[in-house]
A = this chain, B = another copy of it.
Amino acid sequence: MDKALIDGYAVNSKDIAEADTNTPVTLKLIGEANVGNTNTFTVSAKETVKISKGAIMPENTNSVVMPEDTLTEGKKVKVFASVVTGCQVAKKAEDSKAGDVFILKQRKIRPQDIGGIIGLGYRQIKVFKKPRVTIIPTGNELVPIDIEPEPTQITSSNSYVLRGFVEQLGGIGKIASIVRDELKLVKKAVLKALEVSDMVIISGGCSTGTKDYTLRALQEIEGSKVLAHSVAMKPGGHVLLAIVNGKPVIGLPGHPVSSLTSFHVFAKPVLRKLSGDPRSFWQIAKDTPSIEAILTKNIKSPEGKEDYVRVRLRELDNGTTSAYPFTGRSSFLSTLVKSHGIIKICADCTALYEGDVVDVLLF
């Protein structure tokens, strides 16, 4: 059924074809059509029905005239303007046709898409399962957040940061108990996590020190394939990428800044893939908002390594944005908090200079 798109008068456009400001056409008002009414009108020549937005168009009408183009006196409506046929009318089924692609597979469903889906008559759709990600904190120095650390101990915090990002990306993050630096224990914890997870993240133990067991643990697990160990990036080069029976396992460095950077570069794309891989450029643009800014300081960058530098942004009076790079030591947790985004310096670029315009990924 056709419906009115505005409040006004339902007419047959032919009846008022000659109407204008100086020579109005007078129609006879025969009733009022409201939303939800089931008694529909049939209109004869030179007749009209007052109609509400959303109400069903009376028979023999095809257009709606706006109230401001009319003057009503009792049962007479003077119309001062002609309309195009179909004006302000929603034709039945005009909204979508059989065979139309309405929503492409793998689109991340937005609130407005839910409206469209309901409108089309669907009550259930298949969606990707939220990936379950277990995060395993490792390290003899770590204590849980509810234990007061001794001077040589550190409160385990990376896993909370990682869980936050996992959930931001649509996953379900579970933090496992802290695992001590022992080959057997690390291996056991990874096996246990794989049983209940779609992806496993091991925090710490990914370097090449004598106490770093993540690589060895993974090598000993049946069906595991280590794809990379250490990559040419800074910070966060000590990353470990593996697949165990089809499930991604990622080892991240223990240092907070390195951990976050490696997660950003390697774990985020894997998680996006697991939760449905939004392929559209506009969805990627929406998920990774960035801002152009002007560097306030020179940055040296190691040749042959991708370099990720945290920056703090400031809005300048002239409408531009400045980016102050934190080039200090990577352990400073406070720079993570103080920074607003990250810039990537390509492997073959060895320096950026004060005044350079950089693209800052907000994170």
**What would 16 more interface pairs be, CB under 8 Å, given A53-B207, A112-B164?**
A7-B209, A54-B254, A56-B151, A56-B152, A90-B332, A95-B331, A100-B334, A102-B337, A103-B337, A111-B162, A111-B164, A111-B165, A112-B256, A114-B157, A119-B155, A289-B289
- Does A75 interact with chain B (Cβ within 8 Å)? no
Partner of A160, one of B5, B102, B114: B114
Shortest beta-carbon distance from A53 to chain B in Å: 6
In the assembled complex, the Cα of A341 lies from the Cα of B289 at a distance in Å of: 14
Most chain-B Cβ atoms within 10 A of its Cβ — which of A123, A140, A141?
Answer: A141
Nearest chain B residue, comparing its CB with the CB of A211 = B34
- Which residues of A line the B interface, CB within 8 A? 1, 3, 5, 7, 32, 34-38, 52-54, 56, 88, 90, 94-96, 100, 102-103, 110-116, 118-119, 121, 123, 139-141, 145-146, 150-155, 157-158, 160-165, 168, 181, 207-211, 254-256, 260, 280-282, 285-286, 289, 291, 313, 315, 321, 329-334, 336-337, 340-341, 362-363
Question: Can you tell how many copies of this chain the complex includes?
Answer: 2
On whether A331 and B363 interact (CB within 8 A), knowing A36-B140, A289-B286, A336-B112, the answer reads: no
Contacts of A121 in B (CB 8 A): 155
- Once bound together, how far apart are the Cα atoms of A102 and B362, in whole Å? 19
